[in-house]
Amino acid sequence: MANVSTQSAVAPALHLRVDRPNPVSVGTIVWLASELMFFAGLFAMYFTHRSVNADQWPANTELLNLPFSLVNTTILVLSSVTCQMGVWAAERYRPHRTGSLLQVGRWGVTEWFTLTFIMGAIFISGQVYEYAELYSIGLDVTSSYGSVFYITTGFHGLHVIGGLIAFLFVLGRTFAARRYGHHEATTAIVTSYYWHFVDVVWVGLFITIYFIR
C-alpha cells in the first residue's frame, strides 16, 4: 500500500512541464517596444510641425511622387512575406533548398532571406532616388515640412539598413553552421520580428505622409 501511494504521489509530477519563454525572443520584443516609443515620438513631431506650419503642407505634398512611393512600399511589404517564408523554413530546419532554384516550395532559409535582402535593398535604393529627386525640385531640410519628412523617413531608412545587416548575419551564420539547429533558427525568427516591425512602421509613415495631405 505504501508503494502504491508513493507511486500515485510521484506520477503527477512526471507529467508536469514548464515551458519557459525564449529569452532571445523576449529580449527582442522588449527592445522593439522601446523602438515603437521612438517612432511614436517621430509621429508626434510630424503632427506638431504640421499643426504649427500647416501652410507648408499643401504645396510640399504636391511634390511627392505617390505612384513611385507606392511601388516602393509594395516591395517592402512583400519582403515581409518572403521573410516569413524563410522563418517557416527555419522552423523546419531547412537551411538551404532541397531542389532546383525554380522549385520555390523547396527553398530554405538562404534563398528566402536572400530574396528578402534584395527587396529591402531595392526599397532603400528607391528611397535614395526619391530623396535626390525631391531635393532637385526644391525640397530641402530648411523648411519645416522638409525637415520632418527627411527625419522621419530617414530614421526609418536607417532601421531598414540595420535589418539588411541582420540578414547578412543570419545568412553568414546559416552557411557557417555545420548542423542547422535551434540556435540558428532562433536567430532567423527574431530577425523576422524586427523586419516585420520595420515594415509595419513604414506602412504607418507612408499613410501619414503620402495620403493624409
DSSP state string for the chain: -HHHHHHHHHHHHHT----PPPHHHHHHHHHHHHHHHHHHHHHHHHHHHHHHSGGGHHHHHTTS-HHHHHHHHHHHHHHHHHHHHHHHHHHTT--S-SS-TT-GGG--HHHHHHHHHHHHHHHHHHHHHHHHHHHHTT--TTSHHHHHHHHHHHHHHHHHHHHHHHHHHHHHHHHH-SS--HHHHHHHHHHHHHHHHHHHHHHHHHIIIII--
CATH class entry, domain 24-211? mainly alpha
Supply the pTM of this predicted model: 0.86
Task: Report pLDDT digits (tens) over 98-124.
Answer: 988 889 989 999 999 999 999 999 999
Residue spans of the domains in the chain: they are: 24-211
What are the pLDDT digits (tens) for 3-13?
444 444 444 44
pLDDT tens-digit profile of 27-70? 888 888 989 999 999 999 999 999 998 888 888 889 999 999 99
